Amino acid sequence: MGSFDNINYSLRPSKSIERSLVFEGLGRLQAALDLNAQIYVGMGSIWFADFLMAHRLLGIDDMVSIEADDIGYTRAEFNRPYRSVDVRHGRSGVELSAMYLSEDHRQRPWIIWLDYDGPLDEEGVEDLRNVFSGAPHNTILLTTFSATGAAYGKPKDRHERLKRLLGGVVPDDLDEDAIRDGLPETLASVTMDFLTSAAEVSGRPGGFVPAFKLVYTDSATMVTVGGILPRPGARPAAKAVIDLPSWPGIVEPRITAPHLTLREAAVLQAQLPTEVPLTRDNLQGLGFDLKDEQLASYASFYRYYPTYAQINF
């Protein structure tokens, strides 16, 4: 059963914020790196939320969505938002390997977002490793996966599990917090180190420039990491964009956006921006309450907070 049967991807506020931050970053990179004729490659499921943004915000026409589930593939074909979305039925490794051999695809930069709904596993690691040997110059690579602790075994087994999965980039001295409450941040860091190492092993002349690291929680905690595989000579331009203090692709702490009613969101938004951090006392004075981390997360990312409404037709 596909995850689309369990999750409405269009109604997750933290995911929506993460996606908006990523696309703001992609837009800046597109302007700075002369990324003409890009191809967007992702896993659009039946919602295609990122594909809509790639077309509307980045002007990308040619897009490829990979769907392994049989019923999911049929529904994805039915729901594809543009005629230029090519929905491919198969495992990501197989479909990507075919794209690596395509002469047309090899001549154009990609944005490839491997957005898995499960934990990082051996198949996902192999997909990531192969991007470095197969994708064209100036490709931007992103991956998202679950950071739920149980998916990586019992706490006493998680360090060994990460070692088997990602190899020598996993430190020998991970402490207790790093494999329990801090596991999502640990996964983000070691996966980024793995991507950097994979670029070196593959011998890509432009290397890898880390650019995206976000941890967010809706019903589950997820990790997104990624970066740029620049053409030779483009690395300084890529780093100049990433090194700006306003770069949106690397954020701390976790994005934990609360579910707010329209009234709550409007009242809270009217207090922002402010140089003095809002407190729960402020909020209680307005007539409602949130957890400290929810209030802080909203204050940090309110410009990206989505508004949902029911439509009857």
Q: What is the DSSP string of the chain?
A: --GGGT--GGG-HHHHHHHHHHHHHHHHHHHHHT-TT-EEEE--TTT-HHHHHHHHHH----EEEEE-SHHHHHHHHHH-SSTTEEEEES-HHHHHHHHHH-HHHHTS-EEEEEEEEEE--HHHHHHHHHHHHHSPTTEEEEEEEE--GGGG-SHHHHHHHHHHHHGGGS-TT--HHHHTTTHHHHHHHHHHHHHHHHHHHHT-TT--EEEEEEEEESSSEEEEEEEEEPPTT-HHHHHHHHTSTT-SSB--S-B------HHHHHHHHTT-S-SSPP-HHHHHHHT----HHHHHHHHHHGGG---------
- Residue 282's contacts (CB-CB under 8 Å, 6 or more residues apart) are 271
Structure tokens at 98: 């075919």
| pLDDT value, residue 141 | 98
Distance CA 144, CA 234 (A): 25
The residue assigned the tokens 């809706």 is 218
| pLDDT value, residue 82 | 97
Angstrom CA distances, 164 to 157, 167, 176, stand at 11, 6, 18
Distance CA 20, CA 135 (A): 24
Distance CA 52, CA 279 (A): 36
Q: Which one, of 76, 52, 57, 58, lies nearest residue 66 by Cα?
A: 76
Strand-pairing partners, residue 269, are: none
| pLDDT value, residue 170 | 96
CB 127 within 8 Å of CB 114: yes
| pLDDT value, residue 3 | 55
Distance CA 115, CA 47 (A): 13
Q: Read off φ and ψ for residue 281, nearest 5 degrees.
A: -60, -40
Q: What is the pLDDT along the chain (313 residues), one digit of tens a residue?
A: 455 444 444 578 999 999 999 999 999 999 999 788 999 999 999 999 999 999 999 999 999 999 999 999 999 999 999 999 999 999 999 999 999 999 889 889 999 999 998 999 999 999 999 999 999 999 999 999 999 999 999 999 999 999 999 999 999 999 999 999 999 999 999 999 999 999 999 999 899 999 999 999 998 999 999 999 999 899 999 999 999 999 999 998 899 998 888 899 999 999 999 999 999 999 999 999 999 999 999 999 999 998 877 666 6
Q: Read off φ and ψ for residue 261, nearest 5 degrees.
A: -75, 165
Q: Residue 248, preceding bond cis, omega within 30 degrees? A: no
Name the residue type at position 43. M
Distance CA 281, CA 288 (A): 10
| pLDDT value, residue 313 | 60
